Structure 1
Amino acid sequence: MPLPELDSSVGHSFGLEFDSVLIKQITEVSGLKMEQDVIELKQNTADGKYAIKKLPGRPKAGEVTVTRGLTEDNSFERWIKDSRFGKMTNARRNGSIIVYDYEGVPIKRYKLINAWPKSLEISTLKAGDTSVLTEKLAITYESVEVD
């Protein structure tokens, strides 16, 4: 169900899904963007004036960072292990970042095509610290489609 015309979605209701498996306890998704090259066409107009025209170029690949609380779930570690050892047929996956409305109904889906993990970072371990440990997975992808 789409949101009413003047309402917008809230940024706290989202999920991550790869190979039809919803990855739980995601706390943050950053860096998601669609981008393409810009081609500059330099030319003279019919009346002899210099003009620059900007044209759309090739789409660029992207990278998104996913953060979640540290749990016993080792799906991130297994996935990055495949890419580190060159098993790219296993590592490359299609997945989605799903945004939900205020009732929990999916309203937008960002499909990541041929995504694979670039790095996995564990938050700082520090004696006496009471903050939650997190893991950040940097995922690179070839293209993104929006549904």
Structure 2
Amino acid sequence: MSFIDLNTAVGHSFGIDVDGIVIKGITEISGLKWEQDVIDLKMNTPDGKYVHNKLPGRPKPADITVTRGLTSDNSFEKWVETSHFGQMSEARKGASVIIFDYEGNEVKRYNLTNAWPKSLEIGAMKAGDTSVLTEKLVISCEEITPG
């Protein structure tokens, strides 16, 4: 099967939707991948030949890293606090990574099941530096599905 989709998405604008609240202004999203374990099956056949097969194993959800410029919005910090204090029933949320086109229309969505914040990191601060301070939120989830 081959086809050409001329409406290919570009890395223009992203957002993250956490329980219906869309956070835009995301500068980078990484770690959005599907992966599964590989089971190595090594055995000898009845005629004595050595066989090495690879079988699909359990799915392994990835950790998603969301980076944005540091602002006065503390929604990431509040979310991290709930998981750090062990309030996992509050911390686990339905979330989606959203890709927007240049007009702000949604192009693609990736749903994260039972997402919760694993860590929050503030970028390096250097005196006299003119670069934007960032915050990186690492989100752990149980499953990623295209939406």
Common fold by TM > 0.5: yes
Residue 46 of structure 1, CA deviation: 5.6
RMSD value over aligned CA atoms?
Answer: 1.7
Matched with 1:60 is 60
Q: Contact conserved, 2:110 with 2:144, CA < 8 A, in 1?
A: yes
Residue 141 of structure 1, CA deviation: 1.0
Q: Contact conserved, 2:95 with 2:113, CA < 8 A, in 1?
A: yes
Distance 2:139 2:106 in 1: 22
Distance 1:42 1:86 in 2: 42
Structure 1 vs Structure 2: percent identity of aligned residues?
62
Matched with 1:119 is 119
Distance 1:102 1:130 in 2: 27
SS at match of 1:76: helix
Distance 2:64 2:74 in 1: 19
SS at match of 1:24: strand
Matched with 1:34 is 34
Alignment of 1:19-30 (within 5 A): 19-30=19-30
Q: Gaps spanning 5+ residues in structure 1: where? A: none
Letter in 2 for 1:15: G
Q: Deviations over 1:29-84 (max 9, x none)?
A: 01111110011222334654221111111011320111111111110010000001
Further displaced range: 121-130 or 99-108: 99-108
Q: Contact conserved, 2:13 with 2:25, CA < 8 A, in 1?
A: no
Distance 1:45 1:104 in 2: 58
Matched with 2:11 is 11
Letter in 2 for 1:23: I
Letter in 2 for 1:12: H
Distance 1:78 1:119 in 2: 12
Distance 2:86 2:133 in 1: 29
Q: Gaps spanning 5+ residues in structure 2: where? A: none
Letter in 2 for 1:86: G
Q: Contact conserved, 2:122 with 2:133, CA < 8 A, in 1?
A: yes
Alignment of 1:78-117 (within 5 A): 78-117=78-117
Residue 96 of structure 1, CA deviation: 0.5
- Give me the TM-score of the superposition, normalised by structure 1: 0.89
- Give me the TM-score of the superposition, normalised by structure 2: 0.89
Distance 1:108 1:24 in 2: 15
